Amino acid sequence: MMKFRFRRQSTDPQREKIKQELFAFKKTVEHGFPHQPSALAFDPKLQLMAIGTKSGAIKIYGAPGVEFTGLHKDTTAVTQILFLPGRGCLLSVLDDNTIHRWELVAESTREVGGVKKEGVVSLREVDSYSLPGRPGIESSSATRVTVLLLLKSCDLLCMGTEGGGVYVLELPRLSLKENQTLLQDHVTQSLPDDYRCGKSLGPVESLQEHPQQAGKILIGYSRGLVVLWDLSSRHADQLFLGKQQLESLVWERSGNLFVSSHNDGGYSVWAVTNGNIYNHQPVSSTIPYGPFPCKAITKILWRTTQLSSPVILYSGGMPRASYGDRHCLTIQQDKEHVTLDFTSRVIDFFTVHNMDNDKEFDDPSALVVLLEEELVVIDLLTPGWPSLPTPYLAPLHSSAITCSCHVTNVSTKLWERLINAGKAQQSRRHTHRKWPICGGKNLAPPPRQQELLLTGHEDGTVRFWDASGVALTPLYKLSTANVFHTDGDPIDDPHDPCDDPEMQQQQEEEEEEEWPPFRKVGCFDPYSDDPRLGIQKISLCKYSNKLVVAGTAGQVIVLGLNDERSDHLVDVSVMDLLQDREGFTWKGHDRLEPRLKPAPFLPGFQPLVLLQCLPPASVTAVALHTEWNLVAFGTSHGFGLFDYHRRNAVLARCTLHPNDSLAMEGPLSRVKSLKKSLRQSFRRIRKSRVSGKKRAVITTTSKVQEANAALAEQEEVAPVQRRIEPRSADDSLSGVVRCFCFADTFLRDGTHHGPTLWAGTNSGSVYAYALEVPGVDSGRTCERGGASESSMCVEAVLGKEIQLMHRAPVVSICVLDGRGKPLPDPYEASQDLSIAPDMTNAHSVLIASEEQLKVFSLPKVSAKTKFKLTAHEGCRVRKVALVLFSSAVQEEYSEHTLVCLTNMGDMHLFNMPGLRPQVRFDCIRKEDISGIASCVFTKNGQGFYLISPSEYERFSLSAKVLIKPQCSVPLHRHLGHMFTCDGTPPQTQANGTHKSLMGQAEADVPRSTLSSPLLDTPLDSPLSCADLTLDSTGELTVEDVRDFLTTVEEEENNLRNMKDEEGRSPDILIN
């Protein structure tokens, strides 16, 4: 056997080249819902929606797959966004009173290594402008921008300010037109004395351009005055002397009416008739939720329809005393009245409606509401205004994510069954109308393989997401709560109410009697009925469609996929992991009570067996071997092995250290509850944030906050002491089971292989059991030949115990075959989905602890190679994955590589089984503990981690496998260019967790074919081949369009032509 010794990384040029062909780090997409959104905009021409966040990010979405991201230099909240319709250009206003101009920019095309490479197109900041303070007034708040208005001509931008002034900027240069500035004094002069009363008009609350007459704008002041101002003649056409504090204004399409919404929860309709300069009274005034005091209507929209009366949409206005805390948006049309009741604050909303000047009516088709935690779209064309499922921007955190699991290359069969199960779940309320925001074109080819991301949540649900492409789309939701009898819901209500049509009918009836007519909309529900339901570990076998889900209260549920609804009783099996150890009393939570009656289960994954660990501590590790029908599970007390086919407990082993008292504390102990308390405090912070979309004026409170933050920073600087002591056997929580491994390998001797189970603990112990599985050729002569298979039980015999002397927690165990490759998953070998493992040469086992990586030979466990990561680098291993990397250049070449994510947030790649370091990439900020903890790897070199409670960052370590946005947007800019856009701007990320890339292979190095391909690991596994995606991208071209295309018709013609051209056969771009 070859003896591998760790050597320092050599600088063999050929090896370096291969490394470049295998590894490349790139953050590709952000999946999910932007954290803390603060602004919303819609471009009706390009059909693009932009969302700004408090961290200064701007994200643009169009049709599914069309995404752009931009990040302001300062992490200041984006307060407003404006599109320059049809130009691929937008303006953003930040909290620091600066205006930024963004454009979708393309770089010139380059020819690299024979591959035509499209210049990266990205959302880029091209200009910024800061409004200077008004001379003579010190307070910066006077010139603070409150509202923006972009004139239809797109050449002027009006800004309303806190001080009541209206400033005009010239576009695209964002230069102030001094002579156009309208200060309050101008307006007050023309006011009647009795209205003036010497008081200021207050900040500008709304600016709206006249829908028919260009150059006329409606200016609404906080005090209630509304002025129709003619920009060209600089003269007030009409004055509307409102008495109630103003919140927002909206024009009716004809320009004969406008509507104002007010602080008292009412709205007024004003007629704009020529002749009258002064209008004292509105045509009508309504307080919809009166007569008792109501909260302000913060924004109102008035949309005309051809067939019926106008649709009125407004947010707020709830009766202060009874529903003042609700986040509501009302849709009204004639007698129809729905109060959408959201679980989080309404940030902003818009309607998708007819913008054509020829058309007489708005005819809104959809309402898009941006909430703090999700995006809700309401179909306004379908009676009853059902909500529309979002193809992206899904609130991943509708209940907090507790774990995740990724499955590559899911078979079409399973995929379809999951989709069908998901469709069956969708309620009547959902409509299947087309997604209204459909701008841009996704050029990415349909994914080569289906990828599934499973997320476990605090409320006991497991959500299945389509992670094959740029848009992370929900497929199916599995709830485990109905396996248990919880106090919250009665026994005869097994489902999530939204899942059951009957329940909804009931609800609907109830709702109709209620006033206001509330309707729960959206799925963000952060409050879990029972924290014990939380999902901790998930394992899915894609071949046998078996799923194991394990939770906080020691529950392990084995589920099978069933296309039919079924009513059955779930078998319960209790496993005592303490094994009669004395002196231990569990002080944590109780187990969940299993439901005693048969329960109805919807099509999808249905529970078969419930295993209950005792004590009911959180499950810390789970493994599933479907070929042997075995599930292994561990807690902080020990581990168990269960045969779910025969419903038979095979093994229970206590790993508890005698001195470990903390293990019995349950999840409320200091250590374990850290994560939870963090989450809670985040929630608290979020709640305490000032609500209301209006500007947050720099007040004393914010200054205090700043001071506190500064103080907190100082505290961090203060010296911290660290004790230097080796780990001892007495450390608490040393018995926590961290990982399992099922393998058919040589445990007892070198000639007979058979099923084995490996378990690693927090204290560096590894237990290896030889399993006798009836029907599985264990490689040794079966002594019990006479016994029939059904009567035989699976047996486990302890083969070896390994104690790592450094005692660091064992993070992962993996058995390697005679060629040093990881053993295939269950069924892969037996169903010829993978090449059979090499059983002739000696196997070895990789044991990765937090400090060291070690490969031991089998069956005599002797160290072959090792890498002491912590001793060398001072970082600790957090996550480990064995990944198959394929060369981006050589079709056949691939390598098994060990990927380590450390507590410093960097990725270390090691070759297998030599454990020689290959590359290191900085990936996650080391302060981002939850990001590091949430990281999950795919089998082909990609990964996901949470950058916020609601967003997954997708990254790629592979030079070949890459999923990133590739989309085109037709842009009618003065240049007349049409850009084909690659939506991933380099080095920008919404949450700023980006670190500089070190050791990254230079992507643009010309690659010539290798003369002697070092094929020491021939890729002959069909599965491994299938696991790889060759990410072919559509041809990315910039089509120049002649300058004479200025008229709209010509532009449209041109657009049509270019769309045709796009249809050309795509080149394959490998990067």
Partner 1 sequence: MNKNHRVPSSRSLSAVEVKSKFGAEFRRFSLDRSKPGRFDEFYGLLQHVHRIPNVELLVGYADVHGDLLPINNDDNYHKAISTANPLLRLFLQRKEEAENTFATDPLTRKKNTVLSAVLLRPDATRKKHPVIISLPKDFRPVSSIIDVDILPETHRRVRLYKHGQEKPLGFYIRDGSSVRVTPQGLEKVPAIFISRLVPGGLAESTGLLAVNDEVLEVNGIEVAGKSLDQVTDMMIANSHNLIITVKPANQRNNVVRRRSSDSGASCYGYSTHGATASMPSHIIQNFSAGELESDEDEEDLVIEAGGEAEPIRRTSSTYSMPSMPRYEPHLNLRTAFTSASAFSIHTNGTLPASNSSGSLNHADANSATPSPDRVRRSLEEEGTVITL
| CA dihedral sign of residues 487, 488, 493, 494 | negative
Q: Is 814 helix (H, G, I), strand (E, B) or coil?
A: strand
CB closer to partner 1, 346 vs 575: 575
Rounded CA separation 926/903 (Å): 6
Rounded CA separation 456/549 (Å): 8
CB of 717 to partner 1, least distance (A): 8
CB closer to partner 1, 802 vs 888: 802
CB of 900 to partner 1, least distance (A): 14
Burial of residue 44 (CB within 10 Å: 0-12, 13-18, 19+) is middle
Amino acid identity, residue 957?
L
CB of 862 to partner 1, least distance (A): 4
CB closer to partner 1, 793 vs 1003: 793
CB closer to partner 1, 166 vs 858: 858
CB closer to partner 1, 112 vs 929: 929
Contact (CB, 8 A) for 429 and 408:
no
CB closer to partner 1, 24 vs 796: 796
CB of 998 to partner 1, least distance (A): 13
Rounded CA separation 14/1013 (Å): 10
Tell me the three-class secondary structure of 443-489, residue by residue.
CCCCCCCEEEEEEEECCCEEEEEECCCCCCEEEEEEECHHHECCCCC
CB of 781 to partner 1, least distance (A): 14
Place of tokens 């060398």: 872
CB closer to partner 1, 326 vs 806: 806
Contact (CB, 8 A) for 1037 and 441:
no
CB of 946 to partner 1, least distance (A): 22
| CA dihedral sign of residues 1014, 1017, 1022, 1027 | negative
| CB neighbour list of residue 1008: distance below 8 Å, 6 or more residues apart | 113
Cα 837 to chain center, whole Å? 37
CB of 791 to partner 1, least distance (A): 15
Rounded CA separation 765/577 (Å): 17
CB of 783 to partner 1, least distance (A): 10
Rounded CA separation 613/59 (Å): 45
CB of 638 to partner 1, least distance (A): 7
Q: How many CA atoms lie within 13 A of 380 on its CB side?
A: 28
Residues 761-798 as b/e (b if ≥16 CB within 10 A, e otherwise) read: bbbbbbbbbbbbbbeeebeeeeeeeeeeeeeeebebee
User: Contacts for 105-113 with beta carbons within 8 Å, 24 or more apart?
Assistant: 105/979, 106/977, 106/979, 106/980, 106/981, 106/1038, 108/1038, 109/1037, 109/1038, 112/1004, 112/1006, 113/1004, 113/1005, 113/1006, 113/1007, 113/1008
Helix (H) or strand (E) holding 654: strand 648-654
Structure tokens at 160: 């309303």
CB closer to partner 1, 21 vs 643: 643
CB closer to partner 1, 541 vs 929: 929
| CB neighbour list of residue 478: distance below 8 Å, 6 or more residues apart | 461, 462, 463, 464, 547, 549, 559, 604, 605
Residues recorded for the chain: 1071
Phi, psi of 877, deg, nearest 5:
-75, 130
Helix (H) or strand (E) holding 798: strand 795-803
Q: Is 658 helix (H, G, I), strand (E, B) or coil?
A: coil
CB closer to partner 1, 412 vs 585: 585
Q: Could you tell me where the beta strands, DSSP code E, fall in 563-603? A: 566-568, 571-576, 599-601
Cα torsion through 174, 178, 184, 186, rounded to 10: -140
CB closer to partner 1, 27 vs 920: 920
CB closer to partner 1, 135 vs 583: 583
CB of 771 to partner 1, least distance (A): 10
Contact (CB, 8 A) for 614 and 591:
yes
CB of 773 to partner 1, least distance (A): 13
CB of 1011 to partner 1, least distance (A): 38
CB closer to partner 1, 597 vs 872: 872
CB closer to partner 1, 861 vs 1038: 861
CB of 653 to partner 1, least distance (A): 4
CB of 756 to partner 1, least distance (A): 12
Binding site for partner 1 (CB under 8 A): 579-581, 638, 650-654, 658, 719-727, 729, 748, 772, 795-806, 808, 851-852, 854, 856, 860-863, 868, 870-876, 903-904, 926
CB of 753 to partner 1, least distance (A): 16
Structure tokens at 1021: 């596994």
CB of 910 to partner 1, least distance (A): 17
CB closer to partner 1, 795 vs 1051: 795
CB closer to partner 1, 802 vs 1023: 802
CB of 887 to partner 1, least distance (A): 33
Burial of residue 1013 (CB within 10 Å: 0-12, 13-18, 19+) is middle
Contact (CB, 8 A) for 460 and 481:
yes
Structure tokens at 600: 């109805």
Edge-to-edge strand order for the sheet containing 441-442? 441-442, 966-969, 979-982
CB of 709 to partner 1, least distance (A): 20
CB closer to partner 1, 271 vs 842: 842
CB closer to partner 1, 838 vs 873: 873
Structure tokens at 213: 């007459």
